[in-house]
Amino acid sequence: MRRCLDLARAAAQTELPVLILGESGTGKTLLARAVHNSSKRSSAAFVSFNAAALSDTLLDSQLFGHDKGAFTGAQKAVKGKFELAHGGTLFIDEIADLSPVAQAKILRAVEYGEFERLGSERLQVADVRLVSATHLPLVAYTETDRFRKDLFYRIGGITLTIPPLRERSEDLRALVEAEISAASRQQGKTVRGLSRPAADVIFSYPWPGNLRELKRVLHAAIAMTDGDSVPREAIALDVAPRRLAASAEAASPADGGPPLPAEPSVTDRGPDADLTLRAAEARHIRLVLDKMGGNKRRAARALGVSRSTLDRKLGT
């Protein structure tokens, strides 16, 4: 990670295009902004667009803008992302998702710095510094012709690869501490740290969703914590017990501890799932209560709340 940040700092001082690779949730979007903020262009615009969300029909007008009357409903001229980023940084997120048509159009714009607005013959020029990111294996994509090699070379002046969180065990401790104190402050709590069993789970889990998942789990845990340390039961990870047990075993073979009860992922609950915090809390309470064989006193202790708080939350 330090190597990656050193390279990012050096890259920011240049005008070279930067390509950021890394698994989902590792902080690519954040790093793209950081590169801009520490570059000479920091006082100019940082314009981002998400290639995954772009259809070919929207592409032209989104990227290159359009003139008044270019198509039905085009009542005024609109600037595209390239023009808006003039003098600054253009961030193309999820660049591996660009269609072949989009790749060709972007190549022309970045190669020559020239493009036309839709419905206009006039050539526009934009001076942009390009930063791109993807969680997909872009190099492999160029080998199978899913991604143009010429565009790949154009966007990858300097490649920054962010390591996954599971390879940043030294960072994890600091990140957890920082996130707990931020979440605790935001939620008006006085949580100071993790209980031993909670720490065992946090530090042996492989974090496939990286920093995004870590943040989500810790903020939810703080919401479930009333005392000054996070109980293990407040750590709700969307994993099968088998997987957690395996990773715990790998980390400390002598003391794997019993696996957490499996909590099905909310994203697997279908489109009509109740995603409110209140519903998540109710689900978690039911889970813990089940685990404690319906014993409310033990459930309350495990949840880190008083018996009367639990009764109130259960509506009894």
Report the residue number, 28 or 117, with the smaller CB distance to Mg ion: 28
Nearest 5°: phi and psi at 69? 80, 10
Q: Among residues 20 and 244, whose Cβ is nearest to ligand ATP?
A: 20
29 counts as binding Mg ion under rule CB under 5 A: yes
Closer residue to Mg ion, CB minimum distance, 91 or 115: 91
Scanning the structure block, which residue is given the tokens 């459930």?
A: 299
Q: Determine the Cα–Cα distance for residues 171 and 5; give it in Å rounded to an integer.
A: 13
Q: Does 131 bind ligand ATP (CB under 6 A)?
A: no
Q: Which of 29, 38, 120, 159 forms a contact with ligand ATP (CB under 6 A)? A: 29
Residue 30 binds which entry of ligand ATP, Mg ion, none, CB below 5-8 Å type-dependent:
ligand ATP
The answer to whether residues 135 and 23 touch, using CB atoms and an 8 Å cutoff, is: yes
Q: Look-up: residue for tokens 């600054």?
A: 88
> Residue 162 Cβ, how far from ligand ATP at the closest point, in Å?
7
Considering the complex, what minimum distance in angstroms separates the CB of residue 28 from Mg ion?
A: 5
Among candidates 218, 118, 119, which has minimal Cα distance to 176? 218
Q: How far is the CB of 30 from ligand ATP (least distance, A)?
A: 4
For position 304 contacting ligand ATP by CB under 6 A, the verdict is no
In degrees and rounded to multiples of 5, residue 99 shows phi and psi of -70, 165
Single out the segment in contact with ligand ATP by CB under 6 A; choices: 209-217, 248-256, 258-266, 271-279.
Answer: 209-217
List the one residue out of 22, 16, 4 whose CA is nearest residue 96. Answer: 22
Which helix (H) or strand (E) segment holds residue 21: the answer is strand 18-21
Point out which residues pair with 149 in neighbouring strands: none
- Contact residues toward Mg ion (CB under 5 A) are 28-29
- Contact residues toward ligand ATP (CB under 6 A) are 22, 24-30, 135, 175, 211-212, 215
